[in-house]
Amino acid sequence: MARWDPGAEQRLKQAALELYLEHGYDNVTVTHIAERAGLTRRSYFRYFPDKREVLFGGSERLPPALAEAILAADPDAPPLTAALDALTRVGAQLTEHMDGATQRRAVIDASPELQERERTKTAAITEAIRDALKQRQVNTDTAELVAQLATVASTNAFRRWIETEGRASFDSCLNAVTNELRATLTET
């Protein structure tokens, strides 16, 4: 078998998603995934360190991309605007290349282990937003609060985008969540 197999990573992702939906995350092994994809177990580990990461592969690129987008935002933009604009740009790019989001969400929602991994990913996003805002000279307390609010808005927008099965743009979902958040914060 060739050391590099074109399309192997995508086949592994697809096989894992299918198997997780058919049998449940806990009942699927790396061997099952590799066999379904027509690869060996060893090949699987060339792409992913464990069976969770097949659903989260590439997520490590999201925090740096958000930080870069925040740092590139208009220097005069308020912190929340800079963060939300960055989330809009990066989120739009992410959703353009995301296949099987509804199924992936169902698998994660059914597994406490995967939910914990999702929380870890979300924490890394919040940290990246906070640190980028601090680099923009936003004070630590404000940067932390804005990062948390922006992450909550983004998470809710992403869930809405999934619920529309991609019929709505991520941008429109984030705008709707942001408007609701602003209305809630200004209620008296």
Given this model, what pLDDT does residue 4 score? 58
Looking at residue 78, the DSSP 8-state letter turns out to be: -
Closest C-alpha to 36, from 53, 56, 54: 54
Given this model, what pLDDT does residue 1 score? 45
Mean pLDDT of 72-88: 95
Closest C-alpha to 10, from 64, 58, 42, 49: 58
Residue given tokens 């308020």 in the structure block = 78
Range with lowest mean pLDDT among 60-64, 109-113, 164-168: 164-168
Mean pLDDT of 4-24: 91
Given this model, what pLDDT does residue 141 score? 97
Given this model, what pLDDT does residue 31 score? 97
Give the pLDDT band (50/70/90) at residue 2.
very low
Handedness of CA 81, 84, 87, 89 (dihedral sign): negative
Looking at residue 76, the DSSP 8-state letter turns out to be: T
AA letter at 24: G
